[in-house]
Structure 1
């Protein structure tokens, strides 16, 4: 067969091959261009998850001999960095979440809604729904219930005092639960009836990176106001120890602050312990342990 005849036979085959190739290429291009986009109502993976925050909340505990407040730390999810958002989350904990301390209880009625929180010049005005007035407690429970809300909100530095309204009306809330009432509002922070825990630490926070001197601050309700502080590394070696006193001893509650000087051989991690020592047998009591790094 001559070269010309061979070319005549091969040329149609080559043309068919090219047509098939272009057809598949076109299909692939169309498939690559199809993009359905985000599905309505479905959260995309690029959004940041809600941030977690540890919030202090106060509940009422009643025993055979006494009624008082207990302080707990709850981790909640926040959708905003605003103080009002964190304050709202704290109030929802008081309304909806049972305390961890045995014998403690929620006081605010479960059907209560928080309509609004307005924070201005250190005053937080909380507007509740009418269901808040349905609590069935005595005079002591009412006073502690009010203080539990106030202490919870004044954990935030921007809030110094708290007032309440019901459905936007201050007068409608004035009798509150029928015993103490709101006649003395706005209310201020008062930790004198917080009996549990005996010690809590405000600074440093768990997991915080610290340096020397380490500022340790918190609240204590302990014998003769004595507070012991100890910093150890992750091998249990003592890096520093200190002692201070709160500004009031048990049965009262006082604040304490102490600067702890320490020298760490290298960057690492460890634990800060805060406790008081029994004068009877030297036992370390009500110890709070906080993991830290340096």
Structure 2
């Protein structure tokens, strides 16, 4: 019986030593795995930083140049002046161009005017403005220039030959009582002055 107990003790001691060794190896393996994962994480973080820099560089390079027409007073008259500006690419570049146009303080559009949308069908652009655009406070020449600035800006885009101005989704007879906007408008070259 003593032999049996001694044998069990020896087996128990061997098992305990084996467990201690196994757990020690396991700890080393775990530490090695953690170190490897941390190194991989640092590499991935560095790659992410490089990709972000590359993306920002691409965004800077991918800016779009567009031409808007603003109204300028000369000694004798008011004229349209084309100006090339650079903007971020947008899903609807025509809308973005008109937003820049109506925000330009040189143009007479009411401050709260919004561009709801711009669509193109059969070579006709349909800029859809908020109702505030009808609050234009200008005479006949001012309205003619404002309407031409919209048409000329949009007709500079490929695939646009005419422009039908909409207000809240509807055609309107006029914006300020002087210029017929009920039909599609073409480009008006006579109002443009190149400085």
TM-score (norm 1): 0.49
* SS of corresponding position for 2:165: strand
Higher RCO, 1 vs 2 (CA within 8 Å, ≥6 residues apart): 2
- Partner residue in 2 for 1:49: 59
- Partner residue in 2 for 1:234: none
| 1:61 to 1:30, Cα distance in 2 relative to 1, 3 A | same
CA distance in structure 1 between the aligned counterparts of 2:165 and 2:137, rounded to whole angstroms: 18
**Aligned 8 A contact 2:127 2:163 in 1:** yes
- Partner residue in 2 for 1:107: 108
**Aligned 8 A contact 2:155 2:161 in 1:** yes
**In the alignment, structure 1 residue 186 sits paired with structure 2 residue 184:** yes
- Partner residue in 1 for 2:97: 90
CA distance in structure 1 between the aligned counterparts of 2:121 and 2:27, rounded to whole angstroms: 69
Aligned residues: 165
Cα deviation code 1:126-175 (max 9, x no counterpart): 111111112211110000110011000000120000001111121xx323
**In the alignment, structure 1 residue 153 sits paired with structure 2 residue 154:** yes
5+ residue gaps in structure 1?
A: 1-11, 36-43, 99-104, 198-294
**Aligned 8 A contact 1:162 1:188 in 2:** yes
- Partner residue in 2 for 1:122: 123
CA distance in structure 2 between the aligned counterparts of 1:25 and 1:59, rounded to whole angstroms: 70
Higher helix share: 2
CA distance in structure 2 between the aligned counterparts of 1:49 and 1:57, rounded to whole angstroms: 22
CA deviation after TM superposition for structure 1 residue 64, in Å: 4.2
CA deviation after TM superposition for structure 1 residue 178, in Å: 2.1
TM-score (norm 2): 0.72
5+ residue gaps in structure 2?
A: 1-15, 42-50
- Partner residue in 1 for 2:82: 71
- Partner residue in 1 for 2:30: 26
CA distance in structure 2 between the aligned counterparts of 1:97 and 1:78, rounded to whole angstroms: 19
* SS of corresponding position for 1:55: strand
- Partner residue in 1 for 2:7: none
| 1:154 to 1:109, Cα distance in 2 relative to 1, 3 A | same
Choose 1 or 2 for highest CA Rg.
Answer: 2
- Partner residue in 2 for 1:283: none
**Aligned 8 A contact 1:59 1:107 in 2:** no
CA deviation after TM superposition for structure 1 residue 66, in Å: 0.6
| Aligned positions of 1:134-283 closer than 5 A | 134-170=135-171, 173-183=172-182, 185-197=183-195
